Structure 1
Amino acid sequence: MILTTTSAVDGRQVTRYHGVVSSEVIIGANVFRDLFAGIRDIVGGRSASYERPLKQARKTALDELAAEAQDLGANGVIGIDFDYEVIGKSGSMLMVSASGTAVTISGV
């Protein structure tokens, strides 16, 4: 399965368009992660306590895109776009959404 943010794959031809596929993953921020991120904000540096779950959410969203595309008979998803939104009553959750076009690509 080829997954790409570009609208084409170099050296390959799209032979069929199967339609738009999308996925949404929502992760919650817990109190301890918020506490350690706040400390990191004060002393500076990256916040691994947020980066790890965000990376996992993005991977899960891509896995779901690939599965949906495969269910449609596609072997690739092109034009993938990610969106990130803070949701929840107190902004305690983060939604990672991904969408793209499921396609059949020659030579894959």
Structure 2
Amino acid sequence: MIITTTNTIDGVEIKGYKGIVFGEVVAGVDFIKDFKASFTNILGGRSKSYENELIQGREEALEELKQRATALGAGAVVGVKVDYETIGTGGNNMMMIIASGTAVEI
């Protein structure tokens, strides 16, 4: 399965459009990660626990996107975009990661 952010694939003909596909992941951020990240906010630097959470969530969203495109009979997904949102307030923060694109027949 080809996944690309571009609307075309070099050297590959798009024969048909199957529709828009999405991969969604909602991941909770636990108290421990929030606590560790608060030190990073104060002292500066990067929060590895949050970065790892984002990486894992993005990979899961893209995998779900592939599965949904495959179910439609697509050989590729073009125009892929990944969005990140925070849901919740206070101690109940969650991340929502959405991958979207157009499933195509190649």
TM over 0.5: yes
Ranges in structure 2 where 5+ consecutive residues have no aligned partner:
none
Task: Calculate the aligned-residue CA RMSD, in Å.
Answer: 1.1
Map of 1:74 onto structure 2: 74
- 1:53 & 1:36 partners in 2: Cα distance? 13
In structure 1, what is the equivalent of residue 99 of structure 2? 98
Q: How many residues align structurally?
A: 105
Per the alignment, residue 2 of structure 2 pairs with 2
SS in 2 for 1:10: coil
Which stretches in structure 1 are left out of the alignment for 5+ residues?
A: none
The residue that corresponds to 1:27 in the other structure is 27
The answer on 1:58 being equivalent to 2:65 is no
Letter in 2 for 1:25: V
TM-score scaled by structure 2? 0.93
**How far did 1:89 drift?**
4.6
> Take 1:24 and 1:89, find their aligned partners in 2: how far apart are those partners?
20
Partner amino acid, structure 1, of 2:45: G
Q: Report the 3-state secondary structure (helix = DSSP H, G, I; strand = E; otherwise coil) of the residue aligned with 2:20.
A: strand
* Superposition TM-score, scaled by structure 1 size: 0.91
Tell me how far apart the structure 2 counterparts of residues 4 and 93 of structure 1 sit (CA, whole Å).
27
Identity %: 48
**Post-superposition CA distance 1:62-86 (Å, at most 9, x none):** 0000000000000110001111111
2:47 & 2:62 partners in 1: Cα distance? Answer: 23
CA deviation vs aligned residue, 1:18-70 (integer Å, no higher than 9, x gap): 00001210011111101111111222211101000111100000000000000
Q: Secondary structure at the match of 1:14?
A: coil
